[in-house]
Structure formats: structure tokens, C-alpha cells
Structure 1
């Protein structure tokens, strides 16, 4: 029980103690001065609940379906790039998600291959960045399908705003001997983290999902650089991919009702209301502030997900009450992974599951599908809408 933590905040504290400074800063930082990053979290605290006291349901059900996958809870693993927080990386996360009965999102820039991850969690969605020409994008999607991915998450909420007022952590191009020696002092100050990687081999910061199996994968910065110099996709590009991908497809990064409508027009099965965890264009409002207007615009036409700032089960309940079908979590599970590996990720998922159950009980709802806007108190001026 000494390894167990009761809140995501405690997982965060443990991760900070365990991770080298550069790795930790890469997880917590947002773009520019962090206005969006902070608002993602603070906005949930502005929403209140209206609980009941009698006729409460003795049993509550969190099961739902997202992009054709039946899941035990409306919480999905958001895809995140190369993970240096734990030697097993995305495979450990995928195992924990499978244990909890939730779906896994795997990044194109992940440190483990789609084949490795699907092997331990069949409910895996593969995330695509628009890198390279159409044929290369489609080739990565087809590889994911062959491996068993259940759907695509096309991430578009990124404008390469990587400047940070408090300083960007140094991320090496590759882990050669010189780099390892340079980072050695940080590692020595975090012996548990260092020991774990020495047992499994230090991370090589490559992206195996960016090339066909068997080819030498590019480094993270190699893949990132190609992405930077690839022309951004058009709506025609998205429609082209939709025509050629015969499985479920989500478009991630929606902040405006007009973009949400366009996503529906090109055939998206789901959209994610997201600002890339505060790492896109700073001063974009919190995702939860943008959700109600988008749900009003397209809520009957597409599954709506929310990504950004979720730290508690009560946050999930608020998002569902305001129109989301499910949420994606990023930093929360990475802190669990850093703190206690696979068990830490499962711990985080259990915390959220318990918090959702408490919310359903207090609100008198027997299912996550029963949550409604009247279950929450939204202050005047809280929501934002554009376009």
C-alpha cells in the first residue's frame, strides 16, 4: 500500500521527485507564458455541482462506447510522444489501460511500435500527424490497421509554438555517449529513474511508427523536423484520407463550432475538443469552456471527446454533463507512469473511475449516459465560442 496514491496530485508530486529535471519540465510545460495550460485546469474548478440527497442509485454504470469500442469507463489514454518517464513507456501504459478496460491512444511519435502496443491492448487507436505527402500518411495508417488498430486520431492542434517563458527543457537529438555524459548529473540525482533505465537500456528517442517495420526509425527531432516542414493539411486532404480509411476516425484539436461542422462534413466519426494540453497557441481558452458551444453545434452528428486539464473523476463528470462522450487524459497518466510504472497508470485510472462513481451517486444518475447540463452550475460568462 505504500506504493498506492489516492489522488492524481499525489502522482504528480511523486513524479516530480523521481524524474530528472529536464524530463519533468518537458511534461509540465505549456507554450509561451502558460495561460492556456493554467486555464485548462482552473476552469474545471469554476463549474459547480447540484447534488441530490435521496432516491440515489444503488448501482452506477460507467460503460460506454467510443468510436465503436465498448469501454469500461469514459476515459481514454491520449496519445503522447516519446516517453522517457519509464523504460517500458507506452507498453506499460497500454497494459494498465487494458486491465482497466479502457482504450489506448498511441502517438506516431511514440517510443514503442504500434505492433508492440496492440499486442497488449487490442483497443488501441493510432494517432497521426500530417507528416510527409499523402501516400506516406496513408502508409502509416495502413500499417496501423494491419497491426490491429481500431481507429485513427488525426491530431491538428499544433502550431509549433514551442517557446516557453520559463525556459524550454533541453531535449537531445539522440542519446549518444556525449549526450549521456552530459545528462549524467541529472540522472545521478534521480537514482531510481536511472536504475530503471540502466536495467532496460537508456531511451534512444526514436520514433518507430514513422517508417515501415524493419527500417531505421528517425529520431524524435528528425520526425519533428519533417513535420515542421510539411505543408499543413487542407480540408480536402482530410476528406481524401477519410475516403481511404475504412475504420473510425477522430479529428483532434477542435476549438470552434465552424471547424466542428467542417469535421462532420468530411466524415469524422468523432472530434476532440482540445488545445493540445496548453501546448498549442497560448491564450486559447480551456477546452471545457469551448465544449458547450461545440456540443450545441454538432452534438447530434458526431461523438465529442474532450482533452485538456482532466485531473479528477469529477472533471470527467462535468465534461460529460456539458456534452462530451468521453475524455482523454495525458499528463495524469504520465505522472502515474513516472511514479510507479504500469501500476501507477492503473492507479490513476482507478482514481478517475472512483471519482466518476461518486459524482454519479451524488447527482442521482445511474449511468454516465444520463448526465445532463442541469447537473452542473456554470457561472455566467464561463463559456467561450468563436467562428
Structure 2
């Protein structure tokens, strides 16, 4: 278990993660595709939204509990699925335990380094995330394993396209941690002794495999072997999405929706919910921040299915802004990875506590007793902030 000291903000967790992680590991997590326009806008857009706080008469107690994606949670925050969490030996299991301890749902990537069975055991409120790869037979096999493990829902991720690189350079990620790789990487690892010792105590190097892509107990493909399968599989059609939703037969979330027309097609395809997401800036660069796109999507389909938001959330006030603009919950990605790197399971719990405190503080400031009382009127939206994508009727465009 990594040494953990309390941090008061996610930004401090990120600074500690940077000091603890080998540079290539940190850079793999840091930012999005190409120039990083979307990555930066995801965070900056929250700063453009304002509050108008009260100075007296605020409620003495606030309720943060909510229900989203058919799950009761202590606050409107969820763990977004992220792949191969080599920032800490316990990886996704530590994150799942932390989420369970704080009463929030867990998202597990199909590219995760830990088996779905172990993660569900750590947090029964686990969603299994899937990329469209290998065709319907392969997808059905993965869904059946997830069902047998006891996951509460499936997240189909469609907001990830092949990126040709980053302007600041893409770190070289090894295909597998074999002996040769460990020898060539050892100088970098030794310069981060605490991170190195965390893994040395386990007797195993960082796991760069994807154990959830085949039947339980089968050979786990390497990360890039799995990545290659995804790249060689044609993108899903709307018929494929409808097939997945029907095949799963339970809570089914389509992740990656930023356009109104896509949101409406998703409803027609039978999904239970959509996540307004641009893969944290790792999809097509210059896509607008998700918080800019959220209100139009909520207006189009929010009365029919749950809408959640993923992208740029670093503070509890960000969560409040997202909920006020119609999201049932906000998903966090890099925020909890910084906590995991900085302090293992306690570090993730710390991040969740920071967000909870920020949500409570924002509710108090604007005079709301319950997260369900939030409305768009609680947020100051500057002119030109919103983006309404995928509509042909000019009268529909939000201002």
C-alpha cells in the first residue's frame, strides 16, 4: 500500500502523482490527443460557469444522495472506466474498494488490468465497459462473463478514435512487461523508488494485459494486442448498438454522445442512458467540452433516459454545475487516477471526499438543501457558452 497523506484538492493529488510516477506513466495519463484542445476545454469550460451565492438563510443540512443508472449512490459521482491502471499494484480493485467505501458506483474498463470477478467482489455496484471489437460473437461472450460476475450494467464506449499522437509527444508503452522490458525500463523506475517498491513488494511488474476480453481463466491478451483487435474491427452501426442493448437486457449506457441526433438515435436503439463524453479529450480533438454540449442533449432526451456527464470534473462545484444543467451524475477519470497514484485506495477515497466536500459547500453557498433541487437557474451561463450539435432546425439551437 502506498504511503498516503491527506490532500485537500485534486490538483494536489495530481502533483503528488507526478512526483511518484515514472515520467512515461505520468505522461500516459496526462492529456488528450493531438494539440489537447478538447482536454483543456473540458476543464476550462467549468470555470466559465458561475454561481451567485447567498449570504444568509442557507439550509443547515444538505442531502447529496441520488439515484442514477438504476443505482442508489451517496452523491452524484461515479467512477469512469479507465484502462490498465499501472499506477498502483492493486489498480482497479483498490479503486472499487474506495468507491464502495464512499457509496458510489464503479466503472470497469474491458482493458482493465484486474479481472471483473475481483472488482465486482470489491464493489457490487460495478458497471462493465466494452469497446466494439471482434464482432457480435465476441461481444456476447464478454457480456455473458460480465453477467455471470454480477455487474449491474454495461457501458458501451464509442467516443474513442485512433489518435495520431500528441503535440508534446506520446510516451512509449511496452506491449508486455517481459524481462527485457523490465531491464530497459529499470532506470526510469528506480528514479521513482516509492512507486518501484510498491510493485517490488508484490513480486510482479505492472500488469499490461487485458484479462476481461476472453472467458474467465483464459490467456489475457497484451494491451496492444487488444488495442489491435479494436482497431481492426469496423465501427459499430446503430443496429449493433441496438443488438447490444437487447442482448444485455439490463441497464445499458452509451458513452460518447455529444450530438442531439446521436442522442435521439440512442433512445431509438433502446439504451437505458447516455454519457455525454469525449473520452476525456482522447477522442477527436477540437470536440467541444462536454459541459457545453450537456444541456442540449438533456433537453432532447432527458425526459426519456438518464443522462450523465464525463469529462473535466476536478471539483465538487463541477459536479454541482453538471447536475444543475441536467446530468444525473458526473463521472470522474483522471481525478481518481491521481488519487490512486498518490495513495492507493486511501488516495481514491480522499479524492471522493474532496468532491463530496465541494458538492456540499456549493449547495450551501447557493442555498440548496438537496442535489435534486438544482436547476439551470442556479448556474450563470455566459453568452456563447453552449454548443448544440447535430440539429438541423435553427430554431432549436440553444443560446
What TM-score do the two structures reach when normalised by structure 2?
0.96
SS state at 1:105 partner: strand
Identify which of 301, 305, 326 aligns with 2:304: 301
Whole-angstrom CA distance in 1 between matches of 2:366 and 2:270: 35
- Deviation of 1:241 after TM superposition, in Å, equals 1.4
Whole-angstrom CA distance in 2 between matches of 1:29 and 1:177: 29
SS state at 1:328 partner: strand
- Deviation of 1:299 after TM superposition, in Å, equals 1.4
Contact map agreement 1:51 1:375 (CA 8 A) in 2: no
Whole-angstrom CA distance in 1 between matches of 2:29 and 2:345: 18
SS state at 1:251 partner: strand
Contact map agreement 1:162 1:279 (CA 8 A) in 2: no
* Residue number in structure 1 paired with 2:337: 334
Q: Give the alignment of 1:350-361 within 5 angstroms.
A: 350-361=353-364
List runs of 5+ in structure 1 lacking aligned partners. Answer: none
* Residue number in structure 1 paired with 2:393: none
Contact map agreement 1:188 1:194 (CA 8 A) in 2: yes
Q: Give the alignment of 1:238-249 within 5 angstroms.
A: 238-249=241-252
Give structure 1 regions of 4+ aligned residues with deviation exceeding 3 angstroms.
none
Identify which of 295, 314, 319 aligns with 1:316: 319
- Deviation of 1:162 after TM superposition, in Å, equals 4.2
SS state at 1:273 partner: strand
In the alignment, is residue 186 of structure 1 matched against residue 184 of structure 2? no
What TM-score do the two structures reach when normalised by structure 1?
0.99
Contact map agreement 2:84 2:207 (CA 8 A) in 1: no
SS state at 1:240 partner: helix
Whole-angstrom CA distance in 2 between matches of 1:380 and 1:302: 28
* Residue number in structure 1 paired with 2:48: 46
Whole-angstrom CA distance in 1 between matches of 2:96 and 2:4: 24
* Residue number in structure 1 paired with 2:277: 274
Contact map agreement 1:289 1:384 (CA 8 A) in 2: yes
Whole-angstrom CA distance in 1 between matches of 2:373 and 2:152: 27
Taking a change above 3 Å as real, the CA distance of residues 162 and 104 of structure 1, as seen in their structure-2 partners, is farther
Whole-angstrom CA distance in 2 between matches of 1:91 and 1:386: 37
- Deviation of 1:377 after TM superposition, in Å, equals 0.4
Whole-angstrom CA distance in 1 between matches of 2:381 and 2:115: 42
* Residue number in structure 2 paired with 1:374: 377
- Deviation of 1:53 after TM superposition, in Å, equals 2.4
* Residue number in structure 1 paired with 2:172: 170
* Residue number in structure 2 paired with 1:149: 151
Taking a change above 3 Å as real, the CA distance of residues 12 and 215 of structure 1, as seen in their structure-2 partners, is same
Whole-angstrom CA distance in 2 between matches of 1:162 and 1:373: 38
What RMSD over aligned residues (CA atoms) do the two structures have, in Å? 1.0
Aligned residues: 387
List runs of 5+ in structure 2 lacking aligned partners. Answer: 391-399
Identify which of 256, 261, 266 aligns with 2:264: 261
Contact map agreement 2:4 2:344 (CA 8 A) in 1: no
**1:144-174: CA deviations, max 9, x gaps?**
0110100000000011114111110010011
